[in-house]
Amino acid sequence: MPTLSVALCTYNGARFIREQIRSIALQTLPPQEIVLSDDASRDDCVAVARTALQECLAQRPGLVLPLRVLQNTAPLRVTKNFEQAVRECTGDLIALSDQDDVWPPQRLARMAACFAQRGDLTLLHTDARLVDRQGAPLGGSLFHALEVTRSERERIHAGAAFEVFLRRNLVTGAATVFRRSLLAAALPFPAEWVHDEWLGIIAAAVGRVDMLEEPLLDYRQHGGNQIGAQRDSLMGKVRKALASRGTTHIERADKAQQLLERLERLERLGPDQIAAGLLEKVRVKLDHQRFRAALPASRWARCVPVLREAMTGRYDQFGRGFRGVVRDLFESV
């Protein structure tokens, strides 16, 4: 079995961290280390984590599980805090962990076995059971909340995750394990990207990404999540379609530019770094995002260019298809 590190990021997580530490330490296949990066918490989160781990060590004689703590004096925020944590991990595999979730006992063993059996596998993510503040099931799953389609699942299983992720991110960090070797291509994380979406798309560019459709995580939804999961209602989708455009499309174009620059750099390092054809796909995506960012303020003036762009198929290739067309036609300035 490959060795495992857990990169655990915390911020004012004293209320939930004990349960998560226990679920990590008491795995059927325990990790070799926990690297806890605390983002300038104002509560006693780190002290609670240390105490919880000592309880586990006393409960399971013979368990050796170092806890390395990095404490930020000023907040780095989510992406850079996770970057700091994974940089310090030494295991062959790195499991990302939030502070407020709970892992079933077989989680790491199940995921590590997949990597042991598949040498080409770079990153693996799973479904999760959505639970409330007290840990009671909410009656849904993470993939259901994300509206993961059958086509998306099949394409990811078939090795086409990069094309899926060019449309939208489906990788949730709390449900993810990846090979530490991925960091050679992924570091540093751009601050404009969320760490999990960046790791997912870079892994899909340089290796193989797959998903397990079983819920190997209790993903707690409590209103204070920095990043949570909630399926939009019909009215929620309507509100989004009519909302202000703001800087959303400009930011997406900037992110596409950053992805292109990273992949171009990797290609210069060696022709075998990324699969053929990926750069051209990112360039076309960048053109599409720049088109959306440059649409005029007038809804009437958008009609012809948006319909022309829809005829190219790029809304389907790089977004949510008809939903994106509707948003570009009706969003306010």
Q: What pTM was computed for the model?
A: 0.93
What distance in Å separates the CA atoms of residue 186 and residue 172, rounded to the nearest whole number?
16
The arithmetic mean of pLDDT across residues 226-240, rounded, is 55
- For the segment 134-146, the average pLDDT, to the nearest whole number, is 94
Residue 229: is its pLDDT beyond 80?
no
User: Could you give the C-alpha distances from 197 to 26, 43, 176, 235, 285, in angstroms and in order?
Assistant: 28, 29, 11, 26, 16
What is the pLDDT averaged over residues 32-47? 97
Q: Please determine, for residue 232, whether its predicted confidence score (pLDDT) is greater than 70.
A: no
Confidence of residue 231 (pLDDT cuts 50, 70, 90): low
What structural domains and CATH numbers belong to the chain? 4-220 (3.90.550.10), 234-330 (no CATH)
Q: Which residues pair with 244 in a beta bridge?
A: 332
> According to the model, what pLDDT value does residue 333 have?
74
Residues facing 219 on adjacent strands: 130
Segment 121-139 mean pLDDT:
95
pLDDT for 272: 79
Position 273 pLDDT exceeds 70: yes
Q: What is the mean pLDDT of residues 104-126?
A: 98
Q: Is the pLDDT score of 15 beyond 60?
A: yes
pLDDT confidence bin for 274, thresholds 50/70/90? confident
Report pLDDT for 230: 56
- Measure the CA–CA gap between 93 and 95, rounded to whole angstroms: 7
Q: What would the mean pLDDT of 88-93 be, rounded to a whole number?
A: 98
Among 287, 276, 274, 275, smallest CA distance to 318 is for 287
Look at 37-41, 107-111, 190-194, 236-240 and tell me which has the smallest mean pLDDT.
236-240
Does position 278 have pLDDT exceeding 70, yes or no?
A: yes
Is residue 216 within 8 Å of residue 111, measured between CB atoms? yes
Structure confidence at residue 176 as a pLDDT band (50, 70, 90): very high
Predicted confidence (pLDDT) per residue in 155-171, tens digit: 999 999 999 999 999 99
Mean pLDDT of the chain: 93
pLDDT of res. 226: 46
